């Protein structure tokens, strides 16, 4: 496995907000602190290294749940597999109510 691009390493080292974090060579998924989890937000950073210029560009994508409700805890856990970012919402239910 190749080392991560320098941008990813900087983000990992400076991540003081993340509740959970997963990293691959090109992707970094962060689950935010409690206050942001309650509103349903996760962030995926995509770092693309352009080898012919030895340059790094980043794109940040904020993910939200299509049927998200307060208290779903969307983004409490995150993972990455290939080109997919997997975001958990362990308190989600189909009725928009918080599980007891």
Residue 99 domain flag? no
Domain carrying residue 48: 6-89
Considering the domain boundaries, does residue 47 fall inside one? yes
Taking alpha carbons only, the member of 71, 49, 52, 74 closest to residue 63 is 74
Evaluate whether residue 19 is within a structural domain: yes
Among 91, 65, 66, 75, which residue's Cα sits nearest to residue 36?
A: 75
> 31: which 2 tokens?
């689950």
94 or 16, which is more confident? 94
- CA dist 41 and 61 (Å) reads 10
**Domain total for the chain?**
1
What's the pLDDT score for residue 90?
Answer: 76
Residue 72 falls within a domain, yes or no? Answer: yes
Q: How many CB atoms lie within 10 A of CB 91?
A: 17
pLDDT above 70: residue 31: no
| Entry pTM | 0.46
98 assigned to some structural domain: no
Q: pLDDT-based confidence at 59, cuts 50/70/90? A: low
């Amino acid at each position: 496995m190749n080392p991560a691009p320098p941008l990813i390493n900087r983000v990992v080292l400076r991540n003081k907000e993340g509740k959970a974090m997963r990293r691959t060579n090109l992707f970094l998924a962060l689950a935010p602190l409690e206050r942001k989890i309650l509103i349903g937000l996760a962030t995926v950073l995509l770092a693309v290294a352009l080898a012919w210029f030895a340059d790094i560009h980043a794109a940040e994508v904020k993910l939200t749940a299509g049927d998200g409700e307060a208290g779903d805890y969307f983004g409490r856990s995150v993972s990455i597999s290939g080109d997919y970012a997997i975001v958990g919402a362990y308190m989600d239910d189909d009725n928009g109510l918080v599980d007891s």
